[in-house]
Structure 1
Amino acid sequence: MSSNIYRNLLIEKIGKLSDDFNRSETIFRDQEDKIFHPGEFGQYRERAVEELLKLCIPQNFGITNGFIITQDNRKSTQCDLIIYDKQSCPKLVDSSHTHFIPVEAVIAIGEVKSQIRSRSEMETILDKMARNKALKHLRNSTRTTRKIYAPDEDNGLPFDSQYFRFDAIFSFVICKSFTEMPESGFNYCADVDIADYHNFIASLDVGHCAYCCNPSWEMFRVTHNYHYPQTRRELHNQEFKAPIDDEVPLAIGLLVSALYNHCKMATLVEFDPVEYISDNVVR
């Protein structure tokens, strides 16, 4: 039996998100079907998604847009959504109100789109997310403030975001619709590590993409709608699921559940401002 209060709040936010997706197409497209103010177009949708996700993540995590930065002077491309640990680091904002989040604090990233019209467009989005996600390939000596034990990974070992799923950034796409997923799944460039593949693709209209987990090393039934691309470096198959008839689209319900659980389980990394400020750190 579901909670009427929580469910109805979620339905309200999903309805607003759907309306805002439709309204943004009307407001920001001209008579030639071209977007005439892409910045405002994107922010309009992102705000609606942010309101939805605020219902679904613990309050000690923040949501913003902006850039991920690292202590060795690398920077991500702009991220539509960054979910970060508010208690572990500052949110850096410049004079133009651009937000910069140290990678140590980043828990999840998301891309917000209206209609993804082709396989190549989707794969461009996924490749961008993967390269941003790879910024958290930190050294094994990285200090953590929380690391929850997962028996199937034996992750009491040092930090390793390419091996342990809760050390890695959770990445997702949320959109109104997307083109049909190829039978073998969406492709990545050869230099993208499997740990940096997307976790979840959710749409309001056409369904979602996750994974089918059937690890050869474990004797249990196949797990569908699995939210991690690999376990112990074993790649899982991408899987598409069509929508079901419900006021809460299955894609959205699974996404918010997966995000909540990842936030609760994610490894938290210690942020040291000295490492960002000085090249001559004395230990």
Structure 2
Amino acid sequence: MLLYNIESIAKKLQSDSEVLSHIEHMATRGAGREDKLRLYIKDLLPQKFSVGNGIITDVNGTQSKQQDFFVYDAFNSPVFLKYETSIVIPVESVYATVEIKSTLNKNTLSQSINNIKSVKELKISALINSPFIPNYHNQIFGSIFAYTSENKIETIASNLQELCKSVPKSNQPSIICILDQGNIINVDKNGLKQICTMPSEQTTWCITKNKEEINLYVFYLLLQQHLNTTKNFPPDLLAYANNSHALDGLQLVVPKEILPDDASISLGDATLTGEELKFMDEYKDIFFKVSTNQLTAEDVIAKGISADELVPICKRYTDLINKTLFPK
């Protein structure tokens, strides 16, 4: 049943592409093809996934290049910025990115590889609360989808090998789909039969040539297989806020009435406990009057302390001042 649906989508994609080919403005033509592919793929995905286009960013503020199409967590992903049809989202929420090309050649292939690399290089700062962590988490499926190519798929595979020489395996594409020719996928080097969704040192490129519906089917299968086997953890939003200095002006005040005794507060190079701070606040007036020879018997009585307690209190206050001014 799914294959019949994919076959229908493949025909629609080609039909839409032919209609859009009559638009002379290249950017408009390309945007139309991107929109069609996003729409069809979204309809095939479970509801927990959403699709979009725009910029992907990380906790350090580094941004990817503009992405044609990405799949992200529909339930847990914040959208940092939305402008017209483009969005900016955290890398932790992204499952896959797809570079869409009307026609693939060596130049557009190089651009696509660099765009995918710009996403995979981003730093991931995820909130992981579970002791169980799956083998595959927060990995991004990088792919290229082209309606056609100026060259044979064998030439594109050769170009791919050349262009990826200086790109780490982990940052390389997972699949290149040329709709009217075939797919370039990763297979295990041992036996050359096991299809792999993620490139690694144990994989190599392999070419498959089929009809359009099978080519799209393979592309979808690898994408969905990745989505099924990868767990994404939510972004650490406090880390994003801190690193972007969004909280720099935030004032944190803990009233002394609720300050825990075992709290620790840094004062320059010194560290005082909550109990020590409350002690200093409690007896600051007494210590000031002792230091300036203004203390009276009425002051001591009003404070509810005895003359015998006064000396230890002043000594401890002096010690805490010295601890603050001359930390060890």
For the pair 1:277 / 2:241, whether they are aligned, the reply is yes
Once the two structures are TM-superposed, the CA of residue 89 in structure 1 deviates from its matched residue by 1.8
Give the partner amino acid of 1:169. I
* Match in the other structure for 1:144: 128
Once the two structures are TM-superposed, the CA of residue 224 in structure 1 deviates from its matched residue by 4.6
* Match in the other structure for 2:294: none
Point out where structure 2 has 5 or more consecutive residues left out of the alignment.
253-328
**Deviation digits for residues 23-47 of structure 1, max 9, x if unmatched?**
22212x2xxxxxx351x22221112
**For 2:219 and 2:171, how far apart are their aligned partners in 1?**
18
Once the two structures are TM-superposed, the CA of residue 225 in structure 1 deviates from its matched residue by 4.0
Identify which of 7, 15, 21 aligns with 1:11: 7
* Match in the other structure for 2:226: 262
**Deviation digits for residues 149-179 of structure 1, max 9, x if unmatched?**
4xxxxx3xxxxxxxx5x54200111111122
Give the partner amino acid of 2:91. V
**For 2:83 and 2:37, how far apart are their aligned partners in 1?**
25
Give the partner amino acid of 1:176. Y
Identify which of 65, 68, 77 aligns with 2:53: 65
If asked which structure has higher relative contact order (CA below 8 Å, sep 6+), I would say 1
Once the two structures are TM-superposed, the CA of residue 261 in structure 1 deviates from its matched residue by 1.4
Larger Rg: 2
For the pair 1:228 / 2:198, whether they are aligned, the reply is yes
Identify which of 108, 118, 131 aligns with 2:118: 131
- Do the aligned residues in 1 keep the contact of 2:97 with 2:143 (CA within 8 Å)? yes
For the pair 1:80 / 2:44, whether they are aligned, the reply is no
Once the two structures are TM-superposed, the CA of residue 59 in structure 1 deviates from its matched residue by 1.2
| TM-score (structure 1 length as normaliser) | 0.75
Q: What secondary structure does 1:278 align onto?
A: helix
Structure-to-structure mapping, 1:1-283, within 5 angstroms: 3=1, 6-27=2-23, 29=24, 36-38=25-27, 40-116=28-104, 118-135=105-122, 137-138=123-124, 142-144=126-128, 149=134, 155=135, 166-178=137-149, 179-180=151-152, 181-182=154-155, 184=158, 186=160, 187-188=162-163, 191-215=166-190, 221-230=191-200, 234-244=201-211, 249-279=213-243
- Do the aligned residues in 1 keep the contact of 2:9 with 2:40 (CA within 8 Å)? yes
Over 3 Å counting, the alpha-carbon distance change for 1:103 and 1:15 in structure 2 is same
Richer in helix (by share): 2
Over 3 Å counting, the alpha-carbon distance change for 1:251 and 1:148 in structure 2 is farther
Once the two structures are TM-superposed, the CA of residue 210 in structure 1 deviates from its matched residue by 0.4
Once the two structures are TM-superposed, the CA of residue 263 in structure 1 deviates from its matched residue by 0.9
Give the partner amino acid of 1:138. I
**For 1:265 and 1:73, how far apart are their aligned partners in 2?**
28
After superposition, the CA RMSD in angstroms is 2.6
Give the partner amino acid of 2:196. Y
| TM-score (structure 2 length as normaliser) | 0.66
**Deviation digits for residues 108-140 of structure 1, max 9, x if unmatched?**
000111111x324312321221222221x436x
**Deviation digits for residues 204-263 of structure 1, max 9, x if unmatched?**
211110022134xxxxx4325433211xxx24221112124xxx6222111111111111
Give the partner amino acid of 2:110. E
Identity percentage over the alignment? 20
Give the partner amino acid of 1:132. V
